[in-house]
């Protein structure tokens, strides 16, 4: 999840009076608070007081800014939620935003507010841009579900309209350009148009935000107007909007931005959004909007999940100190999440917040005491015996990647165009070297052999590993088979030597077998066999074809056998 930059001094200012100490805040102080926000310190520049912090929780976009992190810490230090009165105000907003019909098919939802009285500072602007970017990219899935615009409020004449227009119907100067372009040109030419254009492609008209005088604010989710949509240090009145495809995510995002700006001293003024179509919150939605619902949870649920008696008072204290509105109601607790969070799907989510608020160190570890019997699977037991025996016979064990290439698995083995060339392939190949799952072990051993011609001989290699075999009768179309492969190379390596190894192994395993001659392209004619047990083919043995050795640039004769360990596990 996102890695963000924050500044120690900025963090200190955002904590305000909540922090009693008068000494300047240090990186170590912040690191000590990181468990509250599931943050991990990635990097720091002590001179500049800059920290880079990775925030793990994908469901907590409210934490992806200096304001959000500081807020969580401030609440902990204060022991109670921060207050955001604008969520509770019942006055009808003086500013309105009208949504035009047709947008329900393209990008249906919008939320907006004004932020007044906060003079934008350099560090505040950097945070605003970072928040906009992280929320749009990660929470908004590359602006698909949400995108954010921030503007200079004084230049906007209300009401603002959110409507669909044809790409050649409007022109404006986008950020980063000097001259006016049509919407179609922006989509075709502007870097952001090229990057995000596909989100609104496939429709005759595109969404456009304009003010009461027809001035373009932005082409969401692509780019703002340069005239209105470029916020600068020193601006004191901002207009913030969020558009997107999921109403609650759109409003949550605006709530987060509003809380962030409020934390910096802005007064938030709501905007009334008027839809021509129904939404789950009605046709008129006042934003920011606190849609959080109180949830009643039995204290016992929390206590048994945590394994600790806490009592309702302690639960309420912990939750209040993490930002919830929590009220004790007998043996239950009523909890309402703060308006900038919407990640409580289940009571367990609240349980974790109780634990985080108290600190994981506040819980004494308790060893699970119920008795269980440990064991290995049957196939692993057989595999261990096989490996032991192979080591005893003098073989060096190998571990290989299972992903390989068709060239290694088939071409170099002379299997291309034969019945043995069926492979399980990857659809989204990153590198041709890792494009298929191996269907047998021998190529893995030859890969080692090929890289080791300077290691002194004899070479006796084996690997017990998984291979994937296509099988149309299987529900998933393939089976994973644990397979033993063994390879011997030296100047006098011959069939009888590898046969002796196989024979000894299967003697000790008590696994009767016979060899049946087989014509297999990887092996010399008349020197290859199938290993048959209980009238089932369970493996292969043979002397490698000189052409195979040439393909792998191996300068010694080589003999191999392969055996299904799964079959051994069933048959012994």
Instruction: Report 48-107 residues binding other proteins (CB under 8 A).
Output: 56-59
x/- site string to other proteins, residues 375 to 404, per CB under 8 A? xxx-xx---x--x--xxxxxxxxxxxxxx-
For other proteins, the binding residue among 374, 491, 510, 519 (CB under 8 A) is 374
Q: Which is nearer to other proteins, 9 or 422 (CB)?
A: 422
How near is the Cβ of 19 to other proteins at its closest, in Å? 21
Distance CA 537, CA 365 (A): 53
First to last CA, the chain: 49
Contact region for other proteins (CB under 8 A) — 8-16, 172-180, 251-259, 350-358?
Answer: 350-358
From the CA atom positions of the chain, what is the Rg in Å?
33
Q: Are strands 459-470 and 523-533 parallel, antiparallel or unpaired?
A: unpaired
348 touches other proteins (CB under 8 A): yes
* 267-274 vs 95-99, strand pairing mode: parallel
What residues contact residue 88 under an 8 Å CB cut-off, 6+ apart?
290
Question: Is the CB of 3 or the CB of 400 nearer to other proteins?
Answer: 400
Is the Cβ–Cβ distance between 440 and 486 less than 8 Å? no
CB 27 within 8 A of CB 45: no
Residue 418 interacts with other proteins (CB under 8 A): yes or no: no
Residues 351-370 that bind other proteins (CB under 8 A): 351-352, 355-356, 360-361, 363-370
Site for other proteins in 469-508 (CB under 8 A): 475-480
The answer to whether 304 contacts other proteins (rule: CB under 8 A) is: yes
421 near other proteins, judged by CB under 8 A: no
- Residue 168 CA, chain-centre distance (Å), reads 38
CB of 505 vs other proteins, minimal distance in Å: 12
Instruction: Determine the 3-state secondary structure of 510 from DSSP.
Output: coil
CB closer to other proteins out of 23 and 375: 375
Nearest approach in angstroms of CB 51 to other proteins is 17
Closer CB to other proteins, residue 115 or residue 146? 146
Nearer to other proteins, 20 or 345 (CB): 345
- Residue 340 CB, shortest distance to other proteins, in Å, is 18
- The residue count of the chain comes to 572
| Pattern 450-469, other proteins, x by CB under 8 A | xxx-xxx-xxxx----x-x-
Distance between CA atoms of residues 38 and 34, nearest Å: 6
Number of residues this chain uses to bind other proteins (CB under 8 A):
89
Residue 458 Cβ vs other proteins, minimum distance, rounded to whole Å: 7
State the SS3 of 503-544. Answer: HHHHHHHCCCCEEEECCCCCEEEEEEEEEEECCEEEEEEEEE
Nearest one of 286, 269, 12 to 117, comparing CA atoms: 269
Nearest-approach distance from CB 464 to other proteins, in angstroms: 9
CB atoms within 10 A of CB 117: 13
Q: What is the per-residue burial (b if ≥16 Cβ within 10 Å, else e) of 425-463?
A: eeeeeeeeeebbbbbbbbbbbbbbbbeeeeeeeebbbbb
Does residue number 282 form part of the binding site for other proteins (CB under 8 A)? no
CA dihedral over 451, 453, 455, 458, signed as positive or negative = positive
Closest to other proteins by CB, 148 vs 247, is: 247
3-state secondary structure (DSSP) of residue 247: helix
CA–CA dist 134, 140 (Å, integer): 8
CB of 233 or CB of 451, closer to other proteins: 451
What is the closest distance, in whole angstroms, from the C-beta atom of residue 26 to other proteins in the complex? 19
Contact 470, 478 (CB under 8 A): yes
- The three-state secondary structure class of 298 is strand
Q: Of residues 135-164, which lie at the interface with other proteins (CB under 8 A)? A: 138, 141
- 297, containing H or E segment: strand 295-298
Using the contact rule CB under 8 A, the part of the chain among 179-187, 427-435, 537-545, 552-560 near other proteins is 427-435
> How far apart are CB 426 and other proteins at their closest, in Å?
5
By beta-carbon proximity to other proteins, the closer residue of 21 and 367 is 367
What token pair was written down for 506? Answer: 């299967």
Q: Which is nearer to other proteins, 123 or 379 (CB)?
A: 379
Minimum CB distance to other proteins smaller for 267 or for 453: 453
């Amino acid at each position: 999840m996102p890695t963000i930059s924050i500044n120690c001094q900025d963090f200190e200012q955002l904590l305000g009076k909540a922090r009693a100490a008068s000494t300047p805040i240090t990186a170590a102080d912040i690191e000590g608070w990181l468990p509250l926000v599931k943050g991990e310190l990635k990097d720091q520049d002590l001179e500049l007081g800059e920290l880079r912090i990775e925030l793990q929780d994908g469901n907590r976009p409210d934490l992806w800014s200096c304001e959000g992190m500081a807020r969580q810490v401030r609440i902990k230090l204060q022991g109670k939620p921060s207050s955001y009165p604008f969520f509770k105000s019942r006055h009808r907003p003086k500013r309105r935003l009208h949504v035009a019909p047709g947008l329900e098919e393209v990008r249906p939802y919008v939320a907006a507010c004004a932020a007044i009285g906060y003079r934008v500072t350099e560090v505040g602007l950097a945070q605003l841009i970072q928040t906009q970017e992280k929320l749009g990219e990660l929470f908004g899935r590359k602006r698909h579900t949400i995108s954010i615009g921030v503007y200079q409020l004084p230049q906007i004449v209300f009401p603002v309209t959110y409507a669909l227009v044809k790409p050649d119907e409007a022109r404006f100067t986008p950020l980063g350009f000097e001259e006016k372009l049509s919407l179609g040109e922006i989509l075709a030419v502007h870097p952001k148009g090229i990057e995000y254009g596909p989100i609104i492609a496939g429709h005759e008209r595109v969404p456009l935000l304009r003010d009461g005088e027809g001035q373009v604010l932005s082409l969401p989710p692509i780019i703002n107007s340069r005239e209105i949509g470029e916020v600068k240090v020193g601006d004191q009145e901002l207009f913030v909007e969020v558009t997107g495809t999921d109403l609650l995510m759109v409003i949550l995002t605006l709530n987060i931005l509003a809380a962030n700006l409020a934390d910096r001293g802005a007064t938030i003024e709501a905007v009334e959004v008027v839809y021509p179509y129904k939404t789950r919150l009605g046709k008129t939605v006042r934003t920011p909007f606190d849609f959080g619902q109180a949830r009643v949870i039995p204290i016992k649920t929390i206590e048994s999940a945590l394994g600790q008696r806490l009592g309702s008072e302690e639960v309420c204290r912990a939750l209040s100190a993490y930002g919830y509105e929590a009220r004790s109601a007998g043996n239950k607790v009523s909890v309402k999440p703060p308006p900038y969070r919407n990640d409580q799907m289940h009571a367990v989510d609240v349980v974790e917040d109780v634990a985080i608020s108290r600190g994981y160190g506040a819980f004494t570890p308790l060893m699970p005491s119920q008795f269980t019997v440990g064991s290995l699977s049957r196939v692993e037991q057989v595999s261990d015996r096989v490996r032991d025996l192979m080591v005893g016979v003098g073989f060096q064990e190998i571990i290989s990647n299972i992903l390989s290439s068709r060239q290694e698995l088939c071409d170099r083995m002379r299997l291309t165009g034969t019945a043995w060339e069926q492979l399980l392939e990857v659809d989204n190949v990153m590198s041709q070297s890792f494009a298929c799952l191996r269907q047998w072990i021998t190529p893995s051993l030859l890969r080692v052999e090929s890289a080791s011609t300077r290691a002194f001989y004899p070479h006796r290699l084996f690997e017990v590993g998984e291979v994937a075999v296509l099988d149309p009768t299987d529900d998933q179309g393939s089976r994973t088979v644990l397979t033993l492969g063994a390879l011997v190379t030296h100047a006098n390596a011959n069939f009888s030597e590898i046969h002796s190894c196989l024979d000894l192994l299967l003697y000790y395993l008590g696994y009767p077998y016979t060899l049946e001659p087989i014509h297999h392209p990887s092996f010399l004619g008349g020197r290859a066999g199938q290993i048959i047990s209980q009238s089932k083919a369970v493996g292969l043995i043979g002397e490698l074809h000189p052409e195979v050795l040439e393909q792998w640039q191996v300068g010694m004769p080589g003999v191999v056998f392969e055996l299904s360990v799964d079959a051994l596990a069933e048959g012994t």
